[in-house]
Amino acid sequence: MRLVVAITGATGAIYAMRLLEELKAKKVEVHLILSEWAEETLRIEMNMKKESLIELVDYYYLESDMTAPVASGSFQHQGMIIIPCSMKTLSGIAHGYAENLIIRAADVCLKECRRLILVPRETPLNAIHLDNMLKLAKLGVEIVPPMPAFYNHPVTIEEIVNQLIARILDQLGLEHNLVKRWGDTMKS
């Protein structure tokens, strides 16, 4: 499997890091695009430099590199995940304003009818945010906000993060054992 993963500057760098770890373990070929603000968020939230993420992926592109393979519909892949996805990026995708490689690669997914998964990070949401998400959902984009479930009785941040990553892996059809399934939690 070959995927494009983009990371914006929205809070939630831990989600991106965990997803990249899982994709590497599953030997998925990952093409990473990291926004300039994502680098700053990594530093603020995780005291980490982008090199820690880059070593988890196969290919890395600057968000300004509009010549990257992922900017073209002829580049074959099985989908794109933007995690976390800022409202600025979501808006750019919803309105076809491909000002950088992240939005251009997402636009390619839409025009080529490829899977596009967005993990929007904002709260509270205003009507503009909701309209943009609805517009994209109607186009087939999968909107997977980081909303924790508590039926597994999470105790650590890692358990809460794994729950979201499990949902993303489910969307991609990738096997995992990150969380117990709903029916399994009811058994004693």
Give the fold, CATH level 3, of 2-147. Rossmann fold (3.40.50)
Q: Which tokens go with 85? A: 């996805």
- Per-residue pLDDT at 185: 57
Would you say 12 and 83 are in contact if contact means Cβ atoms under 8 Å apart? yes
Phi, psi of 15 (to 5 degrees): -65, -45
d(CA 64, CA 30): 18
- Per-residue pLDDT at 151: 86
3-state secondary structure the chain: CEEEEEECCCCCHHHHHHHHHHHHHCCCEEEEEECHHHHHHHHHHHCCCHHHHHCCCCEEEECCCCCCHHHCCCCCCCCEEEEEECHHHHHHHHCCCCCCHHHHHHHHHHHCCCCEEEEECCCCCCHHHHHHHHHHHHCCCEECCCCCCCCCCCCCHHHHHHHHHHHHHHHHCCCCCCCCCHHHHCCC
Q: What is the pLDDT of residues 112-121, one digit of tens each?
A: 999 999 999 9
pLDDT under 70: residue ranges of the chain? 185-188
- Per-residue pLDDT at 182: 78
- Per-residue pLDDT at 13: 96
